[in-house]
Structures are given as C-alpha cells and as structure tokens.
C-alpha cells in the first residue's frame, strides 16, 4: 500500500476565481483562440490538453499565452482515454506532459485518481515535488460518467494521496443526486480544497450552488455549445444569469421544474427581477422527471419555492400542505412556496396571467368569452373567468373533455361547428396551435374570428399565425408574452412579498424571444 505524504495542501495558495472556463480544441491555434475569447468573462482557465493530437507540441504556444497574460490562472489536464479523456499514451507520457505544462505556467495540474493509483509511490512523490518546485498545485480527480454513487469513497481514494485539491465528479440522473454532491462538498470543505460537480442536465444545481456550499470553484464552458462535459453551461450564464460567484448562505433558492426545461424563460425573467429589486435569491431550471424527486430537493436543499410545468402541476398535489382555493378547484398548481417551517403551499398564477390582461381591456362581468382547448391552461382560464363573472364557452377537439370541464366550472361546452353562430367579447387560444414546432398553425379559421378581442396564450414565437391573422382583420390582441409575464409577476409577489419590476421582466423576455427568432 502506498504511503500518503504527511503535509496535505502543501502546494502554493492561488488567487483564482470561483468559475473556471474549460477549453478544449482540435488544434493548438484553436485552443489559444478560445482561451483569448474566454478572457472577457474569466481569468481562470482549464486547458484540456488531451483534446489535442500532440499535447506536448502545443506547450510552447501555451507558455507564450500565459506569459502574455500573467493574471490568468491555468489548470492543465491531460486525461487518459481509459479514464474518460482523449489521451492515448501511457502513464509516463501523461506525467511528463503535465509536468511540462506546470513549467509553461499552468498553476494547477489535474491528475485522475486512476493514474495516481497506477503510479508508484516514488513516481508520484517525485511528480508532486516537481510540480511544487514549478509553483504548481496538484489536483487529483475522480469521474463517474454514469451515476452518482459512493462519493465519499471516491473522495477518500483521492484524499489518500493528500493532494492540494480534491475533485469529485459524478453524473446526475435525478435532482436528488445534487444533494449527495453538495453534502460531500459541505463535509470536505472545512479540511480540503474541494470541487464537486454532478454532470448532466439534472446536475446544474451542483454547478451553480457548489461554491455556495464551500466548493473552491466550479467549471463552465466558453460559450453554449462548447461544453467539455455534459450539463456544462457558459461562464457568462453562470456569472450573469445565476450569479454563481456571488451566492451565499443567505441566498434563497427557487426553481422552475419540468421535463424538458432547458429553454424555459423563467430563470431569465425571475433572476432579472431578483437583481433589479435587490432580492438575494436565484432561480434555477430543474429537470424533474417525477414530483417526488422535485419535492425531495425542495425540502432537503432547502428551496423557497418553484414554478412547475405539466405534468407536475397535477403530480405535486398529494405532497402539498396547503392549496390555494382556486388552484384546488382547477385541480392544478403551477407555483410552490415553502414556508419557514417547511410547509409546502400550491398556487395557480396562470389565473392571474389570464384574467388580469383581460380585465384591463374589457368588463369581465357578463362578458361572453370562448376558450379554445380543455387542458391545464384552459382550466385556469375557465375557472378564473367564471369567478370574474364571465359567461364562458369551451370549444375542444374532444368535445367530451369540453363538457366535463364546463360541468366542473359552471361554464358551457360548444362544438366547433357551432362557433360561427355566436359572437364573443374575446376568444382565448389555450391550444399549442401556432407554437414553435407545431404542425398546426391555426386553432380556427379566418371566418371563425367572431370576437372583439383575440387572446393568444402561445408566447413562442412572439408573433403567432393567429395574432397575425387577427391583426390583419383589425381585431385587438393580447399576446402570450403578456400572460407569461403576468403569471410570473404574481409568482414574484407570492415568493417575495414585494412589488415586481413588471416592465423589466417583460423587456428581458421579449428581447430573448426576438433573439431566438
């Protein structure tokens, strides 16, 4: 058995940031070009030398780059293929390249634990001593590319070599896997410089909150699309959207949960609002496959609240301690709040997102309003509008579903072929027709636009075929953007008790939708 050195953390203490940008490329020129671009957002870079065909040949150019940019703290990595990297040489070549990297200016050298275990005690101690002589620290890392399991055992394998940094990386298959990584960080951070990350989309929580729990740093990509590991997000996103380098123990954690959830605009909208109103909070996208997984994360992290999408709007109901009366009648919630004593309350802010924009334009009491669809958004619309005194007509492709909803909400069901026989104060589209990627652009024909107002609940794209058609006929419209922002406004009020910056929330969402085209 190898004997660990007696002086852990003996490498030089470095001043580096909390966000390290990982750089990999096919050629040295491409790698250094990407490194130069990364300097706009970070001065802490990891060079994945194993992504190069000939890592050693790139070191002179790397040395010139680091000499020209003395404020950069660089990590050198040359992970071998059996251990999840790309380098195909033997251990001796890996150690030689990493040692040369330290002499070119890399201040931290990442050696995978499998290589540390393969090396002889004398070989590893000689390597460590040479690194320290070059002014570099030794980081030993463990990666599990399939699951999150036995994390403390993995950390123990690394700690046996008393490196300057311990890095444990797993793969999250559930949101709860983040809890295991964050616990490891919390347990080890008092005695070690530790980095802990769960890869994969479900592991975003660990990437953002790791430094808050005591991780020395976290990893990011240069830009979206240049990830060196699954689930990595860009440094700009970590810093500007999630403020990962500014979060502290008092930061309240919120989320938007669903599957898929990557393209949700809720993080942009709410994090902008938090920053604008100086609320110490962050909202993260949570890829939740089950309500049980989401609730476990919320209670154990703990979180302060969450926005949720279908089918979680229904699945979370059995876990709630309190449900707002109208949300109970609708049978779905889209907003969760956790009280100081850990009790979970559910609300449906879709009602506000629908009723409020309409009430600003028409008198709802006695208004004749047609709702297209009978799904979750339709239920919120129907119950909310009936409560406001409107006469509501439901038109759905499956008429039986319209009848059932009408019976539950004291509304009326109407067959589609009867639509032209009526005149409405407003028609609401709650179907996915016109949504980006939808095969069906319109929920009704031009001859059926027999209303004084058209309310489109689809918000991506901003300009749906239905909105274009209505405007071409001179009919006033309400866009799905307004509904999305209004329901978010109500969420912000529920979570913070503060007046939300509505105009700013709308501005950032509209700008992002235009950018996405």
Which of 85, 28, 98 lies closest to 228 in space, CA to CA? Answer: 85
Q: Is 313 a catalytic residue?
A: yes
The residues, any chain, with a CB within 8 Å of residue 481's CB and separated by 6 or more, are: 459, 462, 506, 509, 510, 513
Angle in degrees, CA 462, 465, 467, rounded to 5: 65
Cα–Cα distance for residue pair 261/490, rounded to 1 Å? 21
Residue 328 buriedness (CB in 10 A; 0-12 / 13-18 / 19+): middle
Length of the chain: 517
Catalogue the E-assigned strands of 122-206.
137-143, 165-171, 194-199
Sheet-wide strand order for 344-347: 281-287, 252-258, 305-308, 335-338, 344-347, 322-323
Residue 375, token pair as written in the block: 């799904």
Residue 298, token pair as written in the block: 């919320």
Bond prior to 311 in cis (omega within 30° of 0): yes
Q: Looking at the DSSP assignment, which residues form a beta bridge with residue 55?
A: none
Cβ(329)–Cβ(383) below 8 Å: yes
Cβ(396)–Cβ(372) below 8 Å: yes
Mapped onto helix, strand or coil, the DSSP state of residue 295 is: helix
Angle in degrees, CA 450, 452, 458, rounded to 5: 85
Q: Which helix (H) or strand (E) holds 313?
A: helix 312-315
Q: Which of 40, 126, 313, 415 is catalytic?
A: 313
Cα–Cα distance for residue pair 143/246, rounded to 1 Å? 27
Provide the annotated active-site residues: 313
């Amino acid at each position: 058995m190898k004997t660990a050195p007696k002086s852990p953390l003996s490498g030089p203490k470095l001043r580096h940031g909390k966000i390290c940008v990982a750089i990999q490329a096919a050629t040295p020129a491409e790698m250094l070009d990407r490194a130069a671009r990364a300097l706009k957002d970070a001065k802490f870079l990891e060079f994945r030398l194993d992504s190069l065909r000939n890592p050693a040949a790139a070191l002179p150019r790397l040395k010139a780059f680091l000499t020209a940019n003395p404020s950069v703290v660089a990590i050198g990595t040359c992970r071998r293929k059996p251990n999840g990297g790309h380098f195909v040489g033997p251990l001796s070549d890996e150690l030689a390249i990493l040692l040369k990297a330290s002499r070119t200016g890399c201040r931290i050298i990442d050696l995978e634990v499998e290589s540390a275990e393969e090396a002889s005690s004398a070989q590893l101690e000689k390597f460590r001593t040479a690194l320290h002589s070059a002014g570099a620290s030794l980081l030993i890392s463990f990666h599990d590319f399939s699951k999150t399991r036995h994390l403390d055992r993995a950390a123990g394998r690394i700690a046996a070599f008393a490196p300057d940094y311990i890095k444990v990386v797993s793969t999250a298959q559930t949101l709860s896997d983040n809890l295991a990584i964050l616990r490891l960080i919390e347990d080890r951070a008092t005695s070690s410089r530790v980095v802990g990350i769960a890869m994969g989309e479900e592991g975003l929580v660990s990437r953002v909150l790791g430094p808050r729990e005591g991780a020395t740093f976290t990893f990011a990509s240069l830009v979206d699309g240049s990830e060196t590991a699954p689930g990595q997000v860009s440094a700009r996103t970590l810093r500007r959207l999630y403020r990962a380098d500014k979060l502290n123990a008092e930061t309240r954690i919120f989320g938007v949960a669903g599957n898929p959830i990557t393209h949700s605009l809720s993080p942009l909208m709410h994090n902008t609002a938090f920053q604008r109103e100086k609320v110490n909070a962050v909202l993260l996208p949570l890829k939740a496959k089950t309500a049980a997984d989401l609730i476990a994360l919320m209670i154990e992290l703990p979180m302060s609240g969450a926005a949720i999408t279908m089918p979680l709007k229904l699945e979370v109901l059995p876990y709630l301690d309190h449900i707002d009366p109208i949300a109970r009648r609708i049978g779905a919630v889209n907003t969760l709040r956790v009280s100081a004593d850990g009790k979970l309350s559910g609300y449906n802010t879709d009602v506000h997102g629908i009723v409020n924009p309409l009430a600003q334009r028409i008198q709802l009491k006695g208004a004749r309003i047609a709702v297209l669809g009978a799904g979750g958004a339709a239920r919120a619309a129907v119950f909310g509008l009936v409560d406001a005194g409107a006469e509501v007509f439901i038109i759905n492709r499956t008429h039986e579903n319209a009848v059932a909803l009408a019976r539950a909400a004291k509304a009326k069901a109407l067959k589609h072929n009867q639509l032209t026989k009526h005149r409405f104060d407003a028609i609401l589209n709650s179907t996915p027709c016109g949504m980006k990627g939808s095969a069906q652009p319109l929920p009704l024909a031009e001859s059926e636009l027999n209303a004084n107002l058209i309310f489109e609940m689809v918000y991506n794209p901003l300009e749906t075929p239905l909105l274009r058609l209505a405007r071409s006929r001179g009919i006033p419209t309400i866009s799905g953007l307004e509904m999305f922002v209004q329901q978010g406004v109500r969420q912000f009020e529920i979570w913070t008790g503060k007046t939300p910056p509505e105009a700013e929330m709308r501005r950032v969402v509209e700008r992002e939708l235009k950018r996405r085209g």
